[in-house]
Structure 1
Amino acid sequence: MSAVPVPAAAQTHPASGDAASTGLSGRILPLPEAPEGRFLVHELLGRGATATVFRGTDLLNGRPVALKVAQGPTEKHARRIHAEAHILASLDHPAVVGFVAAGTVPPGGQWAGRPFLVEEFAYGGSLAERIRGGASGPEEVAGWAAAALSGLGHVHSRGLVHRDIKPANILLSALRRCSVRIADFGIATQASAAPEPGESSGTVHYMSPEQAAGEPLGAATDIYALGLVLLECLTGVKAYPGTPVESLVARTLRGPEIPAELGTGWVMLLTAMTAMDPAARPTAAAAHKLAARLTRALPPLRLVG
């Protein structure tokens, strides 16, 4: 491996107290083909139910990366990381977070033996962070919509369903080739696969009606969830607020309220994407065409590849 020097920022960046307490910040993780080490771990970025995410540097090229490590030593958490790495490695689209590598934490410390996934680092935060600042402009949201639908078209063409489309899993990118990156394929599955008993399936406030009912899911469930995300971006509020139970019950009774002030184009797109009947929702390709009409200048993106 021909390594590049570690950037000065990476050499001097202090780990936060929380990150330091994990025992992984500051270590260099290897790969089978790079046993001397390839990824320098920096600060903790966040924790989920089954994984912990760190910022890192790829010492091969000096680029920043995100390192996702199995949260616990349980087999379930390890399977989740292995499955996500396999899925990401099979995808190649500018609107899907890029796969870099996968490996296992070497001996030493509490993380020893746990699998890790290395992926592209997105610089712009997530839609969840943008929403906390209030509603976004329709043209900007249209750009996000077109890019995300382009990425979903690619995912769906591989026979996969993401199952957890939500603001936190759509990352913003400062790169010109695409404005968003779809991330976190931890519970992605083959389309129409029956959910396993007790298996996590999405985030309550963005679940489709069929997802809430525990039915086998197709590509339409991602379209519905993205519709709710886009509506929240435009209004600054969740379409189905309240407790998880209240939110789930509400969407089985009615569609989301889409303000007429958004304009005919947005009302048409969001109404179609959030139709109660999955068969009535557009494909990602069809929805992309509608979203493209809502923005003045759209960068060329391939729908599938």
Structure 2
Amino acid sequence: MSDASENVTKSGPSIDVLIPAIEKDLATLPHVIDSLRRYVRHPISHIYIVSPNSSKIRKLCSRKNCVFVDETTVLPFTKKAIRYSSSRWNRSGWLYQQLLKMNGDHICREKFFLVVDADTVLIRPHRFRSGGKSIFYCRNWSQPEYFRTYRKLLGAAAPSPKSFVTHYMLFESAKLASLKRTIEARHGMPWHAAILRSINKKRQFGFSEFETYANYVYSRNSAAVLLRNANNKSLSTPVAALGQERIQRLARTYRSLSFHQRKGYSTPAKP
């Protein structure tokens, strides 16, 4: 990771950033924010942190010049309204934060906004628009339930040859709004109600906001989409324990690092 790679001029459309977070993310969230400002090759207008009302996260937003958004103001219901669990697992909060992202067009002001998971840190420069096309970062595997739900929602198979579940994605507000209108017209109910009804709640991993949005965009005009390998690496080592030398070594192979330790959005069910 050379100095030259870090000094590339930021260009293209200005974007906003949206990060859903909870207090358990505070160990990684400052690093996520810093990495966005360092490695996103677009001017960033605002970084919105969507969270339960938390004084600790509010203080972080103030310190990092981010906009705090109380998650209870984003949707017409709260996390308590979602029932998505079994005797062995509880995915209600995990699903709730995906629906929060799906309403990001009602939070962000720019035409484009980047959604980033609060446990994923960029370690190389990223661009998300090029030549009027959106760049989607992809991987080679996904969850079958994501595609079953997609078919229920939109009446067609997901067309992409890759998976878009890579912890961050650029949304175009107009296309996201079009997706939600399409779902509502097909199901005769609010988009979030249609999603909740379409999920097989006996199975985990029943819906993906990234898989749904990107496949919808890809299905409308695949020529307007550029696919790039995400090259994401999951680590159990705390992000603060990684030295700069190790990060530089990892950056030779990977674009981003994920530290999947969050519990609040995906917790075991109580006995």
TM-score (norm 2): 0.29
TM-score (norm 1): 0.27
Q: Greater Rg, structure 1 or structure 2?
A: 1
Higher relative contact order (CA 8 A, sep 6+): 2
